[in-house]
Structure formats: C-alpha cells, structure tokens
Amino acid sequence: MKKEVINIIIIENNVPEVAFQLLVMDDADRVKLAEEAEGIFEIELGYQEGVTDEDIQEALENGYYNNGSWGIWLTWTTINVKEGSSTIDRVGNIEYIKDFINEYGELSCADMEVNNSPCINVIGDTTILLEHFGLETATAITYVGSMVTDEVRIKYEDLADEVLLEISQLMEGFDFEQYYGKDDN
C-alpha cells in the first residue's frame, strides 16, 4: 500500500537536511497535515533575515524558497507501507515511537523487561546499546566489557532503519497495562 509523506527540507551551506516528515495516513490527515506543514514552513521561513511577507507568500505558492545560502522546500513523496503493520517504514517507525512515548511516557529497556537492548554497534568488547527512550531521543550507553564508559542521546532520525524497527517492535510488545498496574511499594 502506498502512503504520502510531507517533507520539509532545509538547506544550509548547500547541505540538505530533512527537518520535518509528516506521514499522511488517510484523507482526513492530508488536509490537517498539509496545513501543519505550511505553518512550519512559514515559521521557519519567517526566522530568516530579510524575508518579506511577499517572499513568504510566493514561497508557499511555489513550495520552496532559496536566497543562495539558505533554502527551504516543501515536498510530497510516496512511500510503500506494509499493510496491517504499525511498524511500517522509517518515517512510520519514528512516528510510532514518538506517539508511543508521548502517550505512555519515557521508558527504559528495564521498564519494558526486555532481555536484549537494541544494539547500535559492537567492536571487540565495546558495545553500544539503546537503553532509554525519550520523546525526541534515545539514550545510547557504551560498554567496554561490563563497564559503562559513555552515555549519549541520539535523535531517532539518526538511527538505522533496523534499529528503529526493533524499538517499534519492543514497544508493540510492551504490556503497559501490566507495567502501570505494578505496585510501587
């Protein structure tokens, strides 16, 4: 099944970066998300020096603005979505993770009682695992053997597709009713 994604791409110093991606799940979403994307586009554009109201209006009509050193594009793309799955693809996985955290709060792998934390990398006896999940970032813990040597936050957008899928699957399997029903005493 095909779904639309609204992308807002910002280019600074000739380097494009996807600033926002909004997954359109149905026709009702399309109008709401198109308005939201236009609002974000207009806000981002309004932050730039020397941009007039006419520039903003023209940019909204054309879907882009570029002054030579900074640019912004509003694009629509189509992606393949695996039918019947809530972990659908990169954009869908990120959206699912953020929606889950927004609804149930930040969680750790210990909270979810998983046996293995999602692994980002292993080199020799150094292992980097994702162990905590916040709204915008996951916390990566670096272990050398069993000793913790580093802790960093990583944006979900910077994680590999297979790691995002693994996080989504952990969250899908999480029994939040049992977790929230636990006695804290």
What pLDDT is attached to residue 87?
37
**Identity (one letter) of the amino acid at 90?**
R
Give CA–CA dist 3/77, Å, rounded: 8
Q: What is the pLDDT of residues 138-172, one digit of tens each?
A: 999 999 988 998 889 998 988 877 788 889 888 88
Give CA–CA dist 138/93, Å, rounded: 14
Could you tell me if 113 and 107 are in contact, meaning their C-beta atoms sit under 8 angstroms apart?
Answer: no
Binned at pLDDT 50, 70 and 90, residue 133 comes out as: very high
- Which carries the bigger pLDDT value, residue 76 or residue 185? 76
What is the DSSP-derived secondary structure letter of residue 89? S
Q: What is the pLDDT of residues 32-75, one digit of tens each?
A: 777 777 888 788 888 788 888 888 888 888 877 887 777 787 77
